[in-house]
Structures are given as structure tokens and as C-alpha cells.
Structure 1
Amino acid sequence: MSDEAEAKQPAGFAIIMLASVFVVATCGLVYELLAGTIASYLLGDSVTQFSTVIGTYLFAMGVGSWCSRYVKQRALEVFIRVEILIALIGGCTAALLFMLFPIVDSFRPILYALVFCIGFFVGLEIPLLIRILRGRFAFRELVSTVLTYDYVGALAASLIFPLILVPQLGLVRSGFAVGLTNIIIALLLIWQLRSSHNLVAEKIAASIVATLLLTGLLMSDYLQSWSESAAYEDPVIYSKSTEYQRIVLTRRKNDIRLHLNGNLQFSSRDEYRYHEALVLPALGRVSRPENVLIMGGGDGLAAREVLKHPNVKTITLVDLDAGITDLFKTVPALARLNNGALSAPQVTAINADGFVWARKAEQIFDLIIVDFPDPTNFAIGKLYSRAFYSQLSRLLADNGILVVQSTSPLVAPESYWTVSNTMENAGLQTTGYHAYVPSFGEWGFTMASHGPLPPLKWLPDNTRFLTRAVEKDLYLFPPDMARRPTAVNRLDNQALVTSFAKEWRVYDGR
């Protein structure tokens, strides 16, 4: 059928086609955001992942638009077929990426191939829509109308994705739900054109794809659990997507492990080594640590160590994700790990962005413990920046001590010493040290203060790892972990995120 014939359609047809423009833009951008988010979760370095995904998607759109010139006739039928293909590929992309990541070696080519396919078909659709609608609008009005719906759809996607889809549905279920939106448009067009077009094949294909996507939507939890079971060595006992991250708990015998966005945060088998090393060398140097601030540490394990000191009166714990603090406060097996620290009367948990909270805070603290995840992306990297340490310096008492978990000085020495260099640039004096934690390997920490570091005055009697003799050896750095010149991690350069990604990529062989 010619384009002229296609223009002679019922009045409701134009409304559906304009709705298609909005849906194409909204769904296409959501697929792009899903791919970028999943890539950053699985591969780290969110800037690189989003940049390459966006670049691939836009390039593919250009290729698709260019190829639309080869559609000589039956543009409407081609459009319906493309809509069905986008629903199928885009709707299944999130599930496919999660399922394939743990079992394939060449993950990136699959990622970019899926993104390219989606971008290609989205780019093909817009020129086809303009051709289909050109008989109903003057050209100037047609282009402005189509582009308006397209841009409004992009705005809708940018709001729906972070505010509704990710926190309410999760990534896998969001993919299937958005795919169903695409297929609904295809089915509406097929129904609208049932009397004037022979669309039996398209009707069958759309029905099959709709059934597949609906099945995937209903089985999303099973698919996510299967992919996580394949990705983790130990059985998954809990998993949940919050507004900020994917929380996964695994368990084998008595060993419980917490993973955030695929990155190990602790193993109950040896976490005491990490948390004693993080907290006690600093806590034991403060004369009277009455008021303590913990940034991060929503699992309550650092708070458990702080509560061992008899002089502690208040602990303010600032962690972004209520999903973590609630989990480790209310689940008995997890509350036992932190000895019920999050329910202790001294502890006040605040769920807020640490960077924003520190800028507004006025209280002075005797001890500040910073236990954030590693700087795998810019959102976390800002919490290792000069600007952030300047705010913490303002909140630190004159004789107080600040301690920061600082990644591995063996695997990532440039990243480790960047933390010290950045804190010193913020006006603090630093002392680095490290401890061996079997689950992580050699792990580093940095203490900082306004003046010279005082000697260790106190250690609890019930430690499992840290003694005075052990503590003395923590400050010795062999040549392969020795200090080296590094950049200062600023908000405008995020040098730490770059060096961290580079060093860990080499170590992991990625």
C-alpha cells in the first residue's frame, strides 16, 4: 500500500500515531537508561558506561533514520513490525543482561549489540511516523508536532525511570513493563486498521510478544533470583532493589555476605577484622569520645565497635539507604551480627545523602568514621572529595579524629594514597594503615586530625583481632604499597574514580 493510501485512515488513527511518537520516545529512552544503569552496576565506572551506551544508542538512531529511506512502501506495516521488534528486544534486554553476565566472557559486545538494535529501530520509527502522518498535517506543523511529542516523551522517561520504575518495579520488571507499553501501541494500531489492512501476521507476532513480555513481568523475581544465583558463589537468601541500589545477601553455612550492586561489602566470617581495624585505632586515641558520627555503615557493624567504649553518649549514623538500616535493625539474624547496635539508645540513624547532610550539620564530633562503599562512580566519589573532607574537618573537634576506609593499598595504591593526599589538601594531617581481611585481601584505612596524631590510649578487652601489638604493625607499608604522588580528588575532576576503575580493572583482568 502506498503512503498516500496510508494517509486515508479513520480520525482515531492520527491520535494513536501521535501517541506512538510519545511512547517511542519514552520507551526508547527508558531502554537506554536501563542499559546504562545495568552496565554501571555490573561493570562499574558509571561515567564510562553511560557515555558509551548513550553514544552507541544515538549513533544507532542515526543509522536507523538513514536506513528508513529504503522503506519504499507499506510504511505503516513496517512501523508496526518495528514496534513489535522494539517491544521484544527492549522489553527483554534487562533480563537478558542480568542472566548473561555471570555465564558469558564477552559481555560488552552483547550489551552494545542490544543497545544498537534498540537505537536502530527507534531511529527508523520517527521518519516512518512523519511519512505516515504527512497527509494529515502541513509539513511545518507535522515536524513541530512530532518533535514536540518526542521531546515530551523524553522528559517523561527521565522522570518516570528514577522516580517510579526503578524504586517500584526494579530493573528487570521495568524492562518487561515498558516493552508491554510498546506492544500495546502496536496492538491498538492493528485493531484500528483491522478493516483496511491485512495484518494477520503482525497480529500473531504482537500476541506472541505480548504473552512473552507478560510472562516475563510475572516471573521477574524468579529471573532476577536465577541470575543472582549464577552470579554469586553462595546461595542468595535475600535480594531487593531500593531507590539507590541492589541489595543481595548470600549465605553458606554460618557465613552471611552483603553485596551492594554486585560488590561485596562484608563477610560475617571475617568482618570483625575490618571493623575493629576501621574503628578502634581512632576510637582508642580520643580522650573522651562522647559524640561520634558514622557516615555510611548502615549495617551497624561499625556502631557495634563504637559502643564498646564506655564514654560514648551519642552516635549519629548517616546512611543514604533506609533499606539497609531497616534490614539490619529488624531482621534478627542480621541484628545479631551488630549486637543490636541500631536499636541502642545512643544511636540515631538518619537516612540522607552524606554530602548534603554534612554541609548543613552544625554539631561537633569527637570521632568521625567514614565507611562508604568504594568510589566506583561519581555519586560515591564525591564522598571522597576535598570538598567533603573540608566539611568533615569543620565538624571535627579540635582534638578529634577522622578515619576513612580507603580501598586496598596493594591492589589500588594510587587510589589509596589519593585519599590521604586529598585529606591533607583539605588541611588535615593523615596517618595511613592497613590490615589483612581474608574476604578482601590487604585493606587500607586513613586516620586524620587537626594536629599530630595522639598515641593509642585504650582498647577493649574483647577484641578478636586488634591488640596493641597487632596495632603497631598496621602502620608499616612495604615497597609495593608505599606512598606515591597522586592527584587531589576534587568534585570537578573525580580523579579517584578514574584511578580506582583503572587499577581494579587491571586486577580483575577486565
Structure 2
Amino acid sequence: MRTAYRTLVGDKGRHRRDRIVRSVIERPETPAYVVPRQPRRPGQSRRGLPVRPATGRLLVLATVFVCAACGLVYELELVALASYLAGDSVTQASVVLSVMVFAMGVGSLLAKRLRPRAAAAFGLIEAALALVGGLSAMALYACFAWVGHSQVALVGFSLAIGVLIGAEVPLLMTLIQRIRRQDAGGAVADLFAADYVGALAGGLAFPFLLLPWLGQIAGPLATGAVNAVAGGALVLWLFRGDLSRRDRTYLLAGNALVLVLLLLAAVLAPAFERAVRREVYGDEVRVALTTGVQEVVLTGRRGEPLALYLDGRLRVSERDEQRYHESLVHPAMAGRRERVLILGGGDGLAAREVLRYRDVREVVLVELDPGVVRLARTDPELSALNGGVFADPRLRVVDAEAFDWLRRSAEPGAYDVIVSDLPDPVLTPSVKLYSQEFYALAARALAPGGRLSVHAGALRGRPRVYWTVEATLRAAGLRATGFRVPGRDGGREGRGGRGVLPEAGDWGFWLAARAAPPRLALPADAPRLRWLTPAALREAGAGRGPRPAKVRPSTLVHPRFVP
């Protein structure tokens, strides 16, 4: 009898064998070949897989790949929205990534309790992740437009998405071991390999496919739909034997509801975007487009002044742009000016002021975003504001990033005047355009006796940033004269004072040269200016205030600009 038992069930241990044998001896009516039914272990299927184990394992790894790609898209979307809505991309990216990684650890710990029902738990988590990640962009935009800030919502979504992503791997580890037992190291290696390759795919798909083709709202919605379908299909088909009838009903209904909500959000997305723009920019939005570089919005209808916003920040206002552009350009034109280089300024307004001088033979405008130049060429109102400057044969436009162009293409000593019309230095993408290395390249491109004009941000609101620009110019071998021009009042442009980031109430400038600080004066043959006069320029030079202590130059490896 013992031999027959060992043949049927194997030697599972002396104590178990003896217990079964004793039960058979004590109950002789029980046939010797019947093995008592053991309870089903947690995670053990009621019935077999619908495919061979090798195929099932491949399907699990393919699902890991898809889910990892979707998870990284959610993560990158949060980073992009944080940088766009709140500014300072280094700080915002650090907050999003650190909170999300922390939450992933929390999710992994919480998933330990879900392993006995790994299939049902994984299906539920993927449905929740698809819904939360897919709708995250719309929710953050809504908070930004109607509440006035989105930082709290950003942290909340980072936590929620991180917890759900962190719970995936322990459950997938249980499921892949359920298909075929293997050593833990091999299973972890397979899962992480699929996870990392999927993250690569998601990281490349976001900037090159989703963002330019679908945008910041439709992109996450499409990603959520893919996420829900992949997770639901794996559980409801491959591991359907691990689910009770009630589990299957709930998962089918839940995934169907998620897909319906995502589809409804996609249908309503255009109307939602229009409502957000009206709330942020007011009712006078004329043009709204997303280029490969940034979001561009042009407002001003029915006689209202034009305003140009780049990534939500007011860059040009027709009410006061002449103060900015006349101050940026005309003091630098006092001297030789046959060849002029403009860095930035794709709106054409700085070029408009430069080309008012008849002795200017050539102007090279280096602009990163060709979409802004295209808008400035073709929009009737903006083209009228810049005087149709792009039709002037003396102007040549180069689509390039200013730092790289100076490094690779600028002729040494070629330009009598360089105008740096760039975003504020406190915006992280612009920091390297205010570095010692950048100004050294600009100085190399200056002709003997040439001048460099630099917009250095707001002096009243951020004096240390303004003086850091001067310290950086000196470190690059340039000597500078500074001045401050009153600008638009602080506050927000937009309905109800919400949405658009506040702009500073003044502008700070530096006029630099190699040998000595240039004299702050207008050219003797300056054209008729609308605001800048010799008296206004003298007052601007006296209004820059004292220099703070211990101001150091900014470099590529040690940027020192802080908000």
C-alpha cells in the first residue's frame, strides 16, 4: 500500500505520508489509491491556462512592456505639465520624480497583501491606473485655469500614479510564477528587462509621437486606453481561470467604464481646451497652436491690443512692447552697425527696431521655434505690429538654438551689434543662454568695438538675478552698463486674474562691450522713438539700484540663477 501511494503522489515527506497511511488503515473502506483533496493554494488556478506555458509567459512579458511604456508616459506628462504650468522645470521635475518614486515603494509594499488574488488585483490596478493617468492632464489644466494653481493636484496625481505603478511588479511576479515556476532571480530579471525596454519605448513615444500628434490632453487619454485594454485582456483571458464569476463581471464592467470615460473625455477635449484658454487668456484668443517647441497663443480681437504668450507666459503686449524693444535695441546701435545678430526675437519686433537704421546691411535672426516666425510672418495683426519686417531683404532667419549656433556657425568678429532677446534666465531651459560660456561665444562673434545688448529679467522683483547676469558678463571678458526700464504692472493677464503666470513690473538690461563699459546714450541719428528719449534713458541708468554682495557668475556646470 505504501509503495502504491509513493508511486501515485511521490514522497512529499514522512509526516504527510504516515498521516495518510494511518487514515487508510483506520478507515479500510477508503480505497488505497484515493488521495485526500488538498485545499487550493492562493493564486492557484481552478483550471489550466488557455495557452501553453511558454506562450503565456511571453504574453505576460508583453503586457509588462506595454504597461511600463504607459507608466513612463504618465510620468513624463506630469513633468512636462509641471514645467509648463509652474515654471522652473528643475524644481518641478524633481518634485514629480521624487514623489513618484517614493509612491512606487509604497505601492510595492501594499501589493504584498494582494498577491493571494494577484490576477483580480492586477486587473483592478490597471483599470485604475488607466483612468487616473489618462485624466491627469485634464485635471491639472482645470486646476490651473479655475483654481489658479496646480501644485497640490500635481503632487496628488504623482502619489496616486506612483502607488499604482509600484503595485504592478509584485503582482506580475506572482502571475509569471503561476505560469511556470522558476528561480526568483530569473523571474525578476525577465520582468525588469521587459519593464525597462517598455520604459524606453514610452520615453521615446512621448516627445516624438504623442506630444506632437495628439497634444498634452489627448496623448494621456490614448495612453490610458491602451493601458486598460492591455491589463484587462491579460487578466480576463489568460488568467480567467483564477477569477470567480463575480470578479470577471466586476473587471469587465470596470474596464468598460474606464474606456467609456476616456472616450468621452477625448470627445470633450476640444471644448475643454477652448474653455481653459478662455479662462486663462480671456475671450480674445485669436490663434492657439502647439509647435514642436512650445505652446503659442496670440490674443487680441475687435480692436483689443495684441498679446503673445509662449508656454503660458506673456512675452509681448502691444500696450508696452515699444518700451521693451526700444530699450533693448537703440542704445546698442550707437556706433558701427552694419551687421547685426539677433538671438531670439522670433516675433520680429527687435528686428523691426534694428532695420529702422538705413546703414544696417544685414540682420541675422536666430530663432529656435520656426512656428513663432511663421506666425509673425502670416498673422495680419502681428505682421502689422512688426512692420512686415520679414519681407525686408536685409533680414535672414536661421532656425537654430542660439547657443549651438554661436558655437558652430557664428563667424568670429563678424557682428557689430548682438541683441540677446531671450526668455528670462530663471526659466530653466534658458539658463545656459545666460552662462559664462554663452557670453564668451557672443564676445567671440563681436567685431572690434561691437556691443552686446542683453535682456536680464526683472530688476525690481529679482535683483540678484539681474546682477548675476552682470557678473557672468564680466567673467566672459565683457564690461557692462546697466539700466532699468519700467514695464507692465505686475499681475496676471486673463479672466479673473487667474491662469497666466504673473509678469514683472519692469525690465532690466545690460549693454556690454569688450574694452570698457559702453556709454549709455542714443545714436545721434536715431529714428523717432515712441517712448525712449535721452532723458528717459538717463533716468533708466540711474534706477538700477545697489549691487548685492557676493554675486557670482553663472556657468553651465554651476548655474546660479534662482527665482
Compute the TM-score of the two structures, normalised by the length of structure 2.
0.84
CA shift, 1:193, in A, is: 4.9
Which of 5, 14, 19 is the aligned partner of 2:57? 14
CA shift, 1:189, in A, is: 2.8
CA shift, 1:191, in A, is: 5.2
Query: In the alignment, does 2:515 pair up with 1:451?
Result: yes
Aligned partners of 1:84 and 1:235: how far apart in 2? 39
User: Which deviations, in whole Å up to 9, do the C-alpha atoms of 1:406-439 show, x marking residues without a partner?
Assistant: 1111111111111111101110010001212225
Aligned partners of 2:361 and 2:238: how far apart in 1? 73
Query: In the alignment, does 2:514 pair up with 1:465?
Result: no
Moved more, 487-496 or 183-192: 183-192
Query: In the alignment, does 2:483 pair up with 1:433?
Result: yes
Count residues with an aligned counterpart.
494
**Partner in structure 2 of residue 317 of structure 1:** 365
Query: In the alignment, does 2:364 pair up with 1:345?
Result: no
CA shift, 1:274, in A, is: 0.8
Structure 1, unaligned stretches of length 5 or more? 502-510
- Tell me the secondary structure at the aligned position of residue 178 of structure 2: coil
**Partner in structure 1 of residue 259 of structure 2:** 210
Percentage of matched positions with identical amino acids: 36
Moved more, 290-299 or 256-265: 256-265
Q: If you compute each CA radius of gyration, which structure gives the higher value, 1 or 2?
A: 2
CA shift, 1:376, in A, is: 3.5
Query: In the alignment, does 2:45 pair up with 1:5?
Result: yes
Query: In the alignment, does 2:534 pair up with 1:489?
Result: no
Change over 3 Å in CA distance of 1:347–1:218 after alignment to 2: farther
Aligned partners of 2:234 and 2:179: how far apart in 1? 17
Change over 3 Å in CA distance of 1:166–1:376 after alignment to 2: farther
Check the 8 A contact 1:13/1:189 in 2, yes or no. no
- Tell me the secondary structure at the aligned position of residue 345 of structure 1: coil
CA shift, 1:313, in A, is: 1.1
Query: In the alignment, does 2:208 pair up with 1:168?
Result: no
- Tell me the secondary structure at the aligned position of residue 146 of structure 2: coil
Query: In the alignment, does 2:522 pair up with 1:477?
Result: no
Aligned partners of 2:189 and 2:239: how far apart in 1? 29
**Partner in structure 2 of residue 296 of structure 1:** 344
Which of 270, 281, 303 is the aligned partner of 2:331? 281
Change over 3 Å in CA distance of 1:195–1:274 after alignment to 2: closer
Check the 8 A contact 2:119/2:235 in 1, yes or no. no
**Partner in structure 1 of residue 165 of structure 2:** 122
- Tell me the secondary structure at the aligned position of residue 44 of structure 2: helix
**Superposition pairs for residues 6-155 of structure 1, below 5 Å?**
8-11=48-51, 13-104=56-147, 107-137=150-180, 138-139=182-183, 140-155=185-200
Check the 8 A contact 1:378/1:494 in 2, yes or no. no
Query: In the alignment, does 2:272 pair up with 1:223?
Result: yes
Aligned partners of 1:112 and 1:352: how far apart in 2? 35
Query: In the alignment, does 2:208 pair up with 1:159?
Result: no
Aligned partners of 2:129 and 2:110: how far apart in 1? 16
Which of 398, 403, 407 is the aligned partner of 1:355? 403
Aligned partners of 1:459 and 1:120: how far apart in 2? 66
**Partner in structure 1 of residue 441 of structure 2:** 391
- Tell me the secondary structure at the aligned position of residue 103 of structure 1: helix
Change over 3 Å in CA distance of 1:381–1:490 after alignment to 2: same
Change over 3 Å in CA distance of 1:219–1:344 after alignment to 2: farther
Structure 2, unaligned stretches of length 5 or more? 1-39, 490-503
Aligned partners of 1:20 and 1:10: how far apart in 2? 16
Moved more, 244-253 or 31-40: 244-253
User: Which deviations, in whole Å up to 9, do the C-alpha atoms of 1:70-108 show, x marking residues without a partner?
Assistant: 115221011111100000000000111011113226632
Query: In the alignment, does 2:288 pair up with 1:243?
Result: no
- Tell me the secondary structure at the aligned position of residue 397 of structure 1: strand
Aligned partners of 1:163 and 1:92: how far apart in 2? 21
CA shift, 1:444, in A, is: 0.9
- Tell me the secondary structure at the aligned position of residue 460 of structure 1: coil
User: Which deviations, in whole Å up to 9, do the C-alpha atoms of 1:181-237 show, x marking residues without a partner?
Assistant: 101213423552596443122112211211221232233332222222222345322
Compute the TM-score of the two structures, normalised by the length of structure 1.
0.92
Cα RMSD, aligned residues only: 1.9
Aligned partners of 2:460 and 2:382: how far apart in 1? 30
Change over 3 Å in CA distance of 1:136–1:13 after alignment to 2: closer
Aligned partners of 1:239 and 1:376: how far apart in 2? 25
Change over 3 Å in CA distance of 1:222–1:188 after alignment to 2: same
Aligned partners of 2:525 and 2:254: how far apart in 1? 70
Moved more, 219-228 or 258-267: 219-228
**Partner in structure 1 of residue 6 of structure 2:** none
Check the 8 A contact 2:366/2:402 in 1, yes or no. yes
